[in-house]
Structure 1
Amino acid sequence: MNFSDLQIENKLKKSIELAEFKTPTPIQSQSIPISLTGRDILGTAQTGTGKTLAFTIPMINKLLKDKNAMALIVCPTRELATQVMATVLKLNVREIGIGNALLIGGESMQKQLRKLGKRARIIVGTPGRINDHLKRKSLNLSKVNYLVLDETDRMLDMGFTPQIEEILNYVPKDHQTLLFSATLPDNILSISQKYLNNPERISVGSLSTPIEKIKQETFEITQDKKYHELINQLVERSGSILVFVKTKHGADKIVKRLKFDGHKADAIHGNLRQSKRDRVINGFRNGNSRILVATDVAARGLDIPVIKHVINYDLPQVPEDYVHRIGRTGRAGKEGSALTFLTPSDRSMWNSISKLIDPNYKPPQRDREQKRSFRGRKKGKGSFNRNKRFRDNKKSNFKEKKKLFKKDDDRKTSFNGKKNFKKKNDNRKKNFKDKKKPFGYTNNPQYFGKKDDENPRSNDDRKSSFKNKKKFKNRKRPKSFKFKKFKKR
């Protein structure tokens, strides 16, 4: 089958020839004839199989037939939206002349408003920016009858579900929907049941296995030696290389070190402005920089045919992202290679990735033995129980000492002796209490030996003396009283 055999408008056939698209890929040959009939499609295929052209050709054909119709293509990332628009522009030459607008974050809002004001009928954008225009009322989707959700699984992973549902509220119910996804989890199936009308299910190849022409390798290494091995791999390999890391900070850090070591490298991640992203990608395409260090934001939708090698410096957070990472090489039937660095802490994630690619995969014997050894350890065994053993020894020694105390008869007698000593002390205390305590305290030796009756003053006398003191308060001084001043002679 060729594109010329399709039942499409002649203008579109000419533009396909000018764009040098010759033979359709399996996903294109299966989905294009069905979508031309107006049916909804639920399509799944690996990355780099030509999904973009599979929904772009029927879209332009529909807009050529219906002059009032509109099309909306929703993509997860700015890069993918930009590349979809590039494919649209390849087909939408001057002879066709359908107005279009690219609505993505990081670009001038005024430029987008001007595009929308020129009656744009093809809208390509990301969920966030499309919703911004809907809130501003600068975008009207009431005439959209062709809707494409590209890389839907990625959009759901990125948390765009509320935005997508908000967009679908503005789209008329009577429209054709094409949903494309690299994987098919349960949330995709639930969305297809909710928004697709009796869709045709199209699947090309396995959803989880990478493209066969990609040579996959692993390299076991420790974390501190990763960068030195990366340098070795960059020297040994020829051609452009895409290096995947875990964080934005890690990408910038590696690029800084690579530039210091004399390598041409650039970083791409979520913190870059759109203009900077475009410059980085164009520079990599044109060969200005041989190495591109990226986070998972570039794992999907980055269509750069020149990528010959992919190096997974860090493993992805989700097993499915591994397939999309290495899918950046081996595009359009070309050969490619993928190298993955594995540290001891990556073992469980690598097992999950291997199981995704091959459901019959079983972890190596040593991994299973390690799991058993951790689960099957009993108390008191192994190096981990050294402290416990020390505590147990202390307890046993303490118990033995107790037994010794119990067996020793001499110690019993000594304890009884202590009891007798306590009794004597108690008797002495009682005798001391019985003695009458003298009133007051004195150091006069004549006082000792006197009888109690000889006490000079009793309590009653003291009380009366205190009463007499009140008389002094009422005594008045004469008015003419003055202190005499004594002068020194």
Structure 2
Amino acid sequence: MAQTVQIHQAAPASDDWRSKLKLPPKDTRFKTEDVTATEGKEFEDFFLKRELLMGIYEKGFEKPSPIQEQSIPRALEGRDILARAKNGTGKTAAFSIPMLERVDTARNEIQAMVLVPTRELALQTSQVCKELGKHLGVEVMVTTGGTSLRDDILRLHQTVHIVVATPGRILDLASKGVAKLNTCKVLVLDEADKLLSQEFQPIVEQLIGFLAPERQIMLYSATFPVTVKQFKERFLKKAHIINLMADLTLKGITQYYAFVSEKDKVHCLNTLFSKLQINQSVIFCNSVNRVELLAKKITDLGYSCYYIHAKMMQSHRNRVFHDFRTGNCRNLVCSDLFTRGIDIMAVNVVINFDFPKLSETYLHRVGRSGRFGHLGLAVNLITYEDRFNLYRIEQELGTEIKPIPPTIEKSLYCM
């Protein structure tokens, strides 16, 4: 039987859609080259379904960012993709848009799966998929460890087209025969470097064995260690390579260090709070114990503050994440749990209360500010013991972290 190919007419220009859908005015705030240095394409140029375009514009997207421009057409062709782009430049939409376009809602089966390393990122990614695809009738399910297995089993008896999951939980469901992945032809690994670490890679490889033989695999991350290259050679066929990481740090983030003793860190933090114009800040510590202690000290100083780390109950983590995301609290103290893909536009200041040891960790931390090309500020509290790490990270990232001046211009990190 001849196969019918349905061609979707491109929607009118985005300005026409904006007035028809009663959308908010265009975002005219200053944005950096990380999202503005494009080839000039429009979302209509990808010949997407009209319903998907409606979701894109209602989400507030104006034009594709560079990673979206390069990724979406290749993904729509069914190509395997290895994409490297900076934090906050639109990677989630780069894979979500073509994935949603290719889902056939007439088929009651899992057709695509997104794997992420943390529960918080799973919730965020599934929300983006739901918002972009709300006019398509696509059913998106999120499943992570630390939640009710029974609820997930009941949900899988209903219609599910896209699964967003952490690896351990979806492997459990697939092994039990509850999540039927043999019809799943699209696999996305978001934060691929973390998913291909020793902790997750064996699980990811087991999951690939459950997928349809003819599958598309797409990897997205800001950093790609050797393990990613080895995985690509084993599982990706003629992968399309995208590398937008000529400069490792985000252009919109101004980076400073303050040289302090350990006992003066809290005093220094208090000074920063009083002098900076903070919309929201994320403050990083290197251990769980220090996260809780610092959050208490900040609260004692009279500032609104939450904390989040991996040893908290999942329900508590979800509540903290939701409240911070909705702006109920200005400052969040956290461990490196929070460095992966968390996308909160209001965060304009990141403070490394404890300086990280690895350049990769530094890159992911400071990327919590300056999301999607907006401006941000990173302040690093450096002790005598941190001085060699500071120098090494500057060299590895090809960046300069300057001494903090007496006054920081608000134009550097505020719109």
Q: Name the TM-score class by shorter chain.
A: 0.7 to 0.9
CA–CA separation in structure 1 for the residues paired with 2:201 and 2:255: 33
* Superposed CA offset, 1:187-219 (max 9, x none): 111101111010010111336x21111110011
For residues 359-370 of structure 1, the aligned pairs below 5 Å read none
CA–CA separation in structure 1 for the residues paired with 2:392 and 2:104: 47
CA–CA separation in structure 2 for the residues paired with 1:204 and 1:11: 29
For the 8 Å contact 2:139–2:159, the answer to whether it is kept is yes
Matched, 1:220 2:269: no
Structure 2 unaligned spans of 5+: 1-40, 401-415
CA–CA separation in structure 2 for the residues paired with 1:107 and 1:238: 38
Matched, 1:54 2:85: no
Equivalent residue number for residue 72 of structure 1: 113
Matched, 1:105 2:157: no
Matched, 1:318 2:355: no
Equivalent residue number for residue 193 of structure 1: 233
Equivalent residue number for residue 90 of structure 1: 131
SS in 1 for 2:104: helix
Q: 1:174 aligns with which of 214, 225, 231?
A: 214
The one-letter amino acid paired with 2:377 is S
For residues 406-485 of structure 1, the aligned pairs below 5 Å read none
The one-letter amino acid paired with 1:7 is F
For the 8 Å contact 1:45–1:206, the answer to whether it is kept is no
For the 8 Å contact 1:81–1:124, the answer to whether it is kept is yes
For the 8 Å contact 1:245–1:251, the answer to whether it is kept is yes
The CA deviation at 1:66 is: 7.3
CA–CA separation in structure 2 for the residues paired with 1:322 and 1:211: 12
For the 8 Å contact 1:43–1:203, the answer to whether it is kept is yes
Equivalent residue number for residue 223 of structure 2: 183
Q: Which has the larger radius of gyration?
A: 1
CA–CA separation in structure 2 for the residues paired with 1:69 and 1:226: 50
For the 8 Å contact 1:42–1:179, the answer to whether it is kept is yes
The CA deviation at 1:32 is: 0.4
Equivalent residue number for residue 2 of structure 1: 42
CA–CA separation in structure 1 for the residues paired with 2:66 and 2:93: 12
SS in 2 for 1:138: coil
* TM-score for the superposition, normalised by structure 1: 0.71
The one-letter amino acid paired with 1:178 is M
The CA deviation at 1:121 is: 1.5
* TM-score for the superposition, normalised by structure 2: 0.83
Equivalent residue number for residue 14 of structure 1: 54
Structure 1 unaligned spans of 5+: 362-489
The CA deviation at 1:19 is: 2.4
CA–CA separation in structure 2 for the residues paired with 1:10 and 1:289: 38
SS in 2 for 1:170: coil
CA–CA separation in structure 2 for the residues paired with 1:71 and 1:215: 38
The CA deviation at 1:137 is: 2.4
Cα distance, 1:124–1:297 mapped onto 2, change above 3 Å: same
For the 8 Å contact 2:110–2:162, the answer to whether it is kept is no
For the 8 Å contact 1:264–1:289, the answer to whether it is kept is yes
SS in 2 for 1:241: strand
SS in 2 for 1:310: strand
Equivalent residue number for residue 137 of structure 1: 177
The CA deviation at 1:318 is: 2.2
Residue-pair matches, total: 358
CA–CA separation in structure 2 for the residues paired with 1:64 and 1:3: 20
The CA deviation at 1:158 is: 6.4
* Superposed CA offset, 1:251-295 (max 9, x none): 011111111221110111101222212221222223321110011
The CA deviation at 1:126 is: 0.5
The CA deviation at 1:65 is: 7.7
CA–CA separation in structure 1 for the residues paired with 2:199 and 2:42: 39
Equivalent residue number for residue 154 of structure 1: 194
* Superposed CA offset, 1:131-173 (max 9, x none): 2212332211110101101111122346211111111111122
The CA deviation at 1:12 is: 1.6
CA–CA separation in structure 1 for the residues paired with 2:93 and 2:198: 24
* Superposed CA offset, 1:101-143 (max 9, x none): 1011222222222221103120001112112212332211110
Matched, 1:210 2:240: no
For the 8 Å contact 1:296–1:316, the answer to whether it is kept is no
Cα distance, 1:353–1:39 mapped onto 2, change above 3 Å: same
Matched, 1:304 2:331: no
Cα distance, 1:129–1:69 mapped onto 2, change above 3 Å: closer
For the 8 Å contact 2:110–2:163, the answer to whether it is kept is no
For the 8 Å contact 2:105–2:138, the answer to whether it is kept is no
Cα distance, 1:135–1:64 mapped onto 2, change above 3 Å: closer
Equivalent residue number for residue 335 of structure 2: 295
Equivalent residue number for residue 81 of structure 2: 41
* Superposed CA offset, 1:383-440 (max 9, x none): xxxxxxxxxxxxxxxxxxxxxxxxxxxxxxxxxxxxxxxxxxxxxxxxxxxxxxxxxx
SS in 2 for 1:144: coil
CA–CA separation in structure 1 for the residues paired with 2:356 and 2:171: 29
The CA deviation at 1:296 is: 0.6
Equivalent residue number for residue 233 of structure 1: 272
CA–CA separation in structure 1 for the residues paired with 2:285 and 2:251: 24
The one-letter amino acid paired with 1:82 is L
Cα distance, 1:158–1:226 mapped onto 2, change above 3 Å: farther
Cα distance, 1:346–1:164 mapped onto 2, change above 3 Å: same
Equivalent residue number for residue 375 of structure 2: 335
SS in 2 for 1:64: coil
CA–CA separation in structure 2 for the residues paired with 1:14 and 1:229: 47
